[in-house]
Structure 1
Amino acid sequence: MLNGRQTVIIRELMKADSPVTSDYLAKVLDVTSRTVRNDIKELEANVKDIGASIKSIRGTGYQLFIHDEQLFRHFLQDIVGHDQDHSGKIPTLPEERVHYIVKRLLLTEYIKLDDLAEELYISRSTLQNDFKEAKEIFKRYGIKVEKRSNFGLRLIGSEFKLRLCIADYAFADIESEFDMILKDNPVFAGVDLNGIKSIILTHIGNHQIVLSDIGLTNLIIHIAISYNRIKSEKYVTLYNNELADLKTTEQYEVAKEIVHDLEIELHIRFPEQEIAYITIHLLGTKMITALHLNDQEVQSFIEEQIYDVAKVVLETIDQELHLNIKDDQELFLSICLHLKPAIHRTQYGINLPNPLLEEIKTNYPAAFQASVIAGMVLKKLLDIEINENEMGYLALHLGAAIENRKNMDQPKKCMIVCASGVGSARLLATKIEAKFGSRIEIVGTTEFYKINQIPLNNLDFLISTIPIPMQLPVPVIHVKTILGGGDFEKIEQYLGIEVNQKGNYIREELVFLRQHLETREDVLHFVVKQLKKLGLVNDLFLKSVLEREELSPTSYGNFVAIPHPLTPQTDSTFWAICTLQKPIDWGGKRVQFICLLSVEKNSSGDLQKMYDLLINIIDNGQVVQQLLKCKTYQEFASVFQKNNEMVN
């Protein structure tokens, strides 16, 4: 059986389309290149037995070749099974070790540091570093680590917060009920998960409460935690006024019915405070409602506060990002229905796992940025801070509306003003139609002297071959009679089409290579200082970037981060790129390639397309590694040109 590092190496080699360097693997594993080379020597001997081979390609790295598909598939199934039951799996990466430490402390009364170091096969000094990270996690929940002589370490904190932390960290990799059955977890010992599920489904069905599969799994987990904690005589306590408020909700009655059946099923008594605990989780779900309602009907059943907040959320998003979605009635209703349970979850610190979060952040950055702005509005109006998972769920609604808006966009209506006669005007119209197809509807042509006779209010813009000195109520795009040069680009820019970005975003004065910086803050201060020297940003820019990072780290995997201001701050759109000599921690991920992105205020460009352009490069780990090796702008630009044809 392969060790943890070797399994990671195999996975990285499988993911790559081209040879992978030992430097890259060393960064992924947080070990030295020498350790990687030793691991690969062992692997080269072992993989022969699983129908594969690893070849060292001089100057480029290592590549995996599969010779026997069936044998190799069996090997992969063994890895999956090994991961699922966690038997004997030793955490290898620093973040895995931190997760392991957190989980062990949560599920153990006392544990000694020396025992943890022995379990993880690491030195005490390495453990001390990992333990600092673990303590920071506990701090976020208001939980302290207490040391007791001869006993070891244990956690001190409110039972409610301890249970939330157990749900978030002891079950972070559980997405379905099926996963629960596979995991060897003491919290599930002696619990009939199917029995709990059946009871929940019966009562939420009777009361028309909607639960997603993830929501159902989350509720089962919390009830399983409650059962085990109550058995150990560890109970949740709530203030009397909190309990009184919860008792007035419909969800409290549902919780009472669920608890009645649970007590029979599990042979255990749930105190009143524990009924309130389940009520809190049910408040994080939503009641069934009809989707096809007009504005008046929506107002009649949605609380006035939620209605008003949803309005401000969509208006602010449109004001900042110009997505034209604030009048989307279906989106508005979806946001209203989503907000109430999301607010309840946030107020009580309940974290609903979001298995799609990383994919949403990477593939729909415009929608995720819109959800970040939504979070900013909720902070301002309700004084609550939604977490990344909640932002991800909001981004799904917003992303659907953005895509619908794209599909619904009508062609822009224009008229051609041409001084050279009908023949020239027709040629111009034909070339424009051939280039832009359904995106432009040419409603006719005219001479300049007749322009006052045209109802301009029915048009989006004019295309004119002659300068028009007068002020008109619609934009005028001045082009040559025989289209050429930058004429097409003028039209494309008006349509919001991002064309030929190579000169716009990659600029030598905004590329800073192989910098020696040690923290996220160091990087952001350094880059913003350079931007201020160039007169591109003001004193408020850095503050906005840091506020955005506080809401949700902008690290995206592959050693890449794309920081940006909370809302557009600058008069132009640009990228400032900084590479580092060594990876640094950036919101729990290692980062070495930073692209600080700024979108111009009141931009009519397509934000999603600009993100796609950048992600096309940074989504490829091998390309990122090539860029990290570049020592000059010319080398850097050459890699971009080769991989995305972005640089002249």
Structure 2
Amino acid sequence: MTSRQVAIVLYLFVQNGPVSIQAIAETINCSDKTVRNEWSAIDEYFQSHQLGRVVRKQSKGVYLDQTDEEADRLRELLSSEGAPKQTNRHDELARMLVSTRDSLTVTQLADHFYVSRSVIREDLTGVAVQMQKFGIGLERKPNVGIVITGEEKDRRSFLAELFHRSFQASGQIRDWFSPFDWAAVERVIRSIEKERNWTLTYRARTSIIVHILLSEKRIKQKFFIMMSEHDNCYPDYMNDLIHQLESLFNIRWKSAEKRYLFYHFQSARIELNESSSEHSFLTLTLSDSTLRFTNQLMDDVTERTGYPFRNDQNLFRSLALHLEGSLIRIQQNFRMHNPLVFDVRKQYPYLFEMILQSLERLDLSLNWHHDEVAYLTIHFQVALEHLDDRVEDPVRIAIVCPEGRSMGKLLEAKIKQLNHSVTIVATNSEPEYIRSAEVDLIVSTVPINSAEKPVIVVSPFLKAHEHDLLIQAIVNTQKPEVSALKTLLGSADNIHFLSSTHRFQVIEDLVQPLIDTDRVNTVYMESTFAREQRSSTYIGGGIAIPHGSPDHVFTPTLKMGILPEPIDWDGNQVRIVLLIAADLQHGEDMKQLFREISQLSDHPDRIHRFTVMTNASSIFELL
């Protein structure tokens, strides 16, 4: 859409009912006729992106007719591409509107910022879209002004976001808070950390300080948090914190305000002291529900991936500690920004998807943001990299060393040091004991006759000139790696050159042939759409991996769609689409597939080469 078309859609999107064409024209500073001339292009955009429809009735006016899912899709599109970029004026405008108790008019705002009223109207449309992400509404009422609606906790979350944006740009605290107040609150927080023997992450500590200082300002302005009453029994550190804050700011923290801060403390991320992590963990008071959820998540991810996470006590501690805060953030709708979310999804797509599926299965009532899932993925990935046996298909070696057990162990250590992709399954002084062992290679210090497996003879000390011989022998026993992409595609017939320009049409183009050939049932199409609507399957590098429920798959199949030009995929540009009609938990094949997809996403030259090729067989051979 053009900038004018975006402005029209933005204006309609934030309205609560029908509006006149004259009102739209006045807002975007153009004529009624110009607005009418844009309807055709806007209608086409809505149809191609499945966003509902723009209803125009002479007696009522113009309004958007959308389902909740269609409205959510439009919001994401407007935020990622169409909405005006936030500037200092936009943020300051948003801060003024949320901070004041009085209704401001467009004229007052135009005078304040020394810009025209049409500029302010355009700014307000963009600000309204940003506010909607936090559950805040912006309404323009005749003879009243601009009215802000929404819960106080959502307004504070929005203000906190504006602060972080401002601080990142300027590095100045004093634009928002007194440096003295900031330092005083930080001293209080650090004293609690020292007393409790845990350390908040830098981001968590900063977030708590911001919310405390915002609460102090809002309480003095008589903007109060409204929360349902619960048991008002708090740990000693919380009572001590409130006492110090009341003394510092000379205000009283009401019950709801106290609970609001308590939730922020509970949801804060904590770093344990590595030297005494187990003792420190035991001193923390984690809820039984968190510990149960942690066990359930580890069990479910273990079952889905086949990786032995279940018995990893270090993972259990780090995961439970994170989930204690994460579950509270999800339940209270506190958003935590994860700057690594895109990189995590790109580097570890398989593990990310398995964890997301586990979370959705364990509790469908919780809406897990990708920021949170990415943090959990990091915990599991760290555990995976610390597993003792990381080699998925090691070369099995038997050692024959008549010189004795000690010499055999020395040779074993030298072989392991030389190549980590091996496992020693037997060490013996008698060749007869080795011949029957299930091995890939026999390393012996004496010649062996009539062995069924390859044999390499070396000295007990594995001299330097023997290193290359042993390495080559190990390489020769390893099976050549077969491309999972190529195996699961099966043939070039599953590679398609597509012309669709919308992601849901692309999905339909790839799924329909599977339905026609009875590889999936008709419900699979709906499940693939539903998965895409929950969260984008874009993984980076111009690649998307849509997939539906394996319950509707008869024959596991991989389809590759090649697009001549990049298309929008929920705010990202995609050239290659891999439809995975299979059970993602299906053992090593799926793990290898996701590894290859991740590697492919890191090579834009390969992706570009595929997209300019016109022969499916040639692409298949290159995989």
TM-score normalised per structure 2: 0.63
1:313 aligns with 2:274: no
Counterpart residue number, 2:185: 196
CA distance in structure 1 between the partners assigned to 2:485 and 2:363 by the alignment: 38
Superposition deviation, residue 355 in structure 1: 1.8
Classify 1:204/1:184 alpha carbon distance in 2 versus 1 (closer, same or farther; 3 Å).
closer
CA distance in structure 1 between the partners assigned to 2:149 and 2:564 by the alignment: 40
Contact 1:576 / 1:596 at 8 angstroms: preserved in 2? yes
1:633 aligns with 2:616: yes
1:279 aligns with 2:262: yes
Superposition deviation, residue 491 in structure 1: 8.7
1:342-390: per-residue Cα shift (whole Å, max 9, x none)? 111111111222122222111122332233134214424xx32221121
Counterpart residue number, 1:389: 371
Superposition deviation, residue 138 in structure 1: 4.1
1:94 aligns with 2:81: yes
Select the residue among 76, 85, 95 that pairs with 1:107.
95
Classify 1:576/1:411 alpha carbon distance in 2 versus 1 (closer, same or farther; 3 Å).
closer
CA distance in structure 2 between the partners assigned to 1:404 and 1:204 by the alignment: 29
Classify 1:614/1:219 alpha carbon distance in 2 versus 1 (closer, same or farther; 3 Å).
same
Look up the equivalent residue of 1:350 and give its one-letter code.
F
Classify 1:155/1:301 alpha carbon distance in 2 versus 1 (closer, same or farther; 3 Å).
closer
CA distance in structure 2 between the partners assigned to 1:361 and 1:131 by the alignment: 34
1:155 aligns with 2:148: yes
Contact 2:395 / 2:421 at 8 angstroms: preserved in 1? no
Counterpart residue number, 1:49: none
1:170 aligns with 2:162: yes
Select the residue among 205, 208, 226 that pairs with 1:216.
205
Counterpart residue number, 2:381: 399
Contact 2:397 / 2:423 at 8 angstroms: preserved in 1? no
Aligned runs of 1:49-68 on 2, under 5 Å? Answer: none
Counterpart residue number, 1:563: 546
Superposition deviation, residue 408 in structure 1: 4.7
Contact 1:318 / 1:325 at 8 angstroms: preserved in 2? yes
Classify 1:578/1:353 alpha carbon distance in 2 versus 1 (closer, same or farther; 3 Å).
same
1:128-174: per-residue Cα shift (whole Å, max 9, x none)? 7x98886565445432221122665442001012222333x425658
Superposition deviation, residue 312 in structure 1: 1.9
CA distance in structure 2 between the partners assigned to 1:583 and 1:122 by the alignment: 36
Select the residue among 526, 529, 538 that pairs with 2:512.
529
Classify 1:226/1:259 alpha carbon distance in 2 versus 1 (closer, same or farther; 3 Å).
same
SS at match of 2:135: coil
Classify 1:388/1:366 alpha carbon distance in 2 versus 1 (closer, same or farther; 3 Å).
same
1:229 aligns with 2:229: no
Superposition deviation, residue 106 in structure 1: 3.6
Look up the equivalent residue of 2:579 and give its one-letter code.
L
Counterpart residue number, 2:320: 336
CA distance in structure 1 between the partners assigned to 2:531 and 2:224 by the alignment: 38
CA distance in structure 2 between the partners assigned to 1:620 and 1:562 by the alignment: 17
1:617 aligns with 2:600: yes
SS at match of 1:170: helix
Aligned runs of 1:438-453 on 2, under 5 Å? Answer: 438-439=421-422, 441=424
1:222-278: per-residue Cα shift (whole Å, max 9, x none)? 223223333433221222x2xx33x2232xx43443344334544555444322221
CA distance in structure 2 between the partners assigned to 1:336 and 1:225 by the alignment: 29
Look up the equivalent residue of 2:381 and give its one-letter code.
G
SS at match of 2:140: strand
Superposition deviation, residue 500 in structure 1: 3.5
Which has the larger displacement, 355-364 or 523-532?
523-532
1:262 aligns with 2:254: no
SS at match of 2:577: strand
Contact 2:520 / 2:552 at 8 angstroms: preserved in 1? yes
Classify 1:624/1:602 alpha carbon distance in 2 versus 1 (closer, same or farther; 3 Å).
closer
Look up the equivalent residue of 2:225 and give its one-letter code.
V
SS at match of 2:225: coil
Classify 1:292/1:258 alpha carbon distance in 2 versus 1 (closer, same or farther; 3 Å).
closer
Superposition deviation, residue 572 in structure 1: 4.0
CA distance in structure 1 between the partners assigned to 2:548 and 2:394 by the alignment: 31
Contact 1:547 / 1:566 at 8 angstroms: preserved in 2? no
Classify 1:185/1:93 alpha carbon distance in 2 versus 1 (closer, same or farther; 3 Å).
farther
SS at match of 2:153: helix
Q: How many residues align?
A: 484
Counterpart residue number, 1:77: none
1:310-341: per-residue Cα shift (whole Å, max 9, x none)? 22212221222222322222212322222222
Contact 2:498 / 2:506 at 8 angstroms: preserved in 1? no
Superposition deviation, residue 523 in structure 1: 2.8
Look up the equivalent residue of 1:316 and give its one-letter code.
D
Counterpart residue number, 2:410: none
Once superposed, what is the RMSD of the aligned Cα atoms?
5.0
Classify 1:94/1:248 alpha carbon distance in 2 versus 1 (closer, same or farther; 3 Å).
same
CA distance in structure 1 between the partners assigned to 2:424 and 2:224 by the alignment: 68
Classify 1:372/1:191 alpha carbon distance in 2 versus 1 (closer, same or farther; 3 Å).
farther
CA distance in structure 2 between the partners assigned to 1:299 and 1:191 by the alignment: 33
Counterpart residue number, 2:408: none
Select the residue among 358, 364, 370 that pairs with 2:354.
370
1:554 aligns with 2:537: yes
Look up the equivalent residue of 2:508 and give its one-letter code.
H
Counterpart residue number, 1:358: 342
Look up the equivalent residue of 1:274 and give its one-letter code.
E
CA distance in structure 2 between the partners assigned to 1:593 and 1:280 by the alignment: 43
Look up the equivalent residue of 1:248 and give its one-letter code.
C
CA distance in structure 1 between the partners assigned to 2:115 and 2:286 by the alignment: 55
SS at match of 2:363: helix
Aligned runs of 1:440-519 on 2, under 5 Å? Answer: 441=424, 498-501=481-484, 503-504=486-487, 507-518=491-502
Contact 1:335 / 1:397 at 8 angstroms: preserved in 2? yes
Task: Could you tell me which runs of 5 or more consecutive residues in structure 2 were left unpaired when the two chains were aligned.
Answer: 1-77, 98-103, 399-415, 442-451, 456-473
Task: Could you tell me which runs of 5 or more consecutive residues in structure 1 were left unpaired when the two chains were aligned.
Answer: 1-90, 417-432, 464-477, 482-487
CA distance in structure 2 between the partners assigned to 1:614 and 1:553 by the alignment: 16
SS at match of 1:405: coil
Classify 1:249/1:257 alpha carbon distance in 2 versus 1 (closer, same or farther; 3 Å).
closer
Contact 1:283 / 1:341 at 8 angstroms: preserved in 2? yes
TM-score normalised per structure 1: 0.61
Superposition deviation, residue 309 in structure 1: 2.2
CA distance in structure 2 between the partners assigned to 1:479 and 1:125 by the alignment: 80
Look up the equivalent residue of 2:223 and give its one-letter code.
K
CA distance in structure 1 between the partners assigned to 2:453 and 2:564 by the alignment: 45
Contact 1:215 / 1:352 at 8 angstroms: preserved in 2? no
CA distance in structure 2 between the partners assigned to 1:547 and 1:408 by the alignment: 35
Contact 1:191 / 1:266 at 8 angstroms: preserved in 2? no
Look up the equivalent residue of 2:308 and give its one-letter code.
N
Superposition deviation, residue 286 in structure 1: 6.3
Please identify the structure whose Cα radius of gyration is greater.
Answer: 2
Contact 1:313 / 1:377 at 8 angstroms: preserved in 2? no
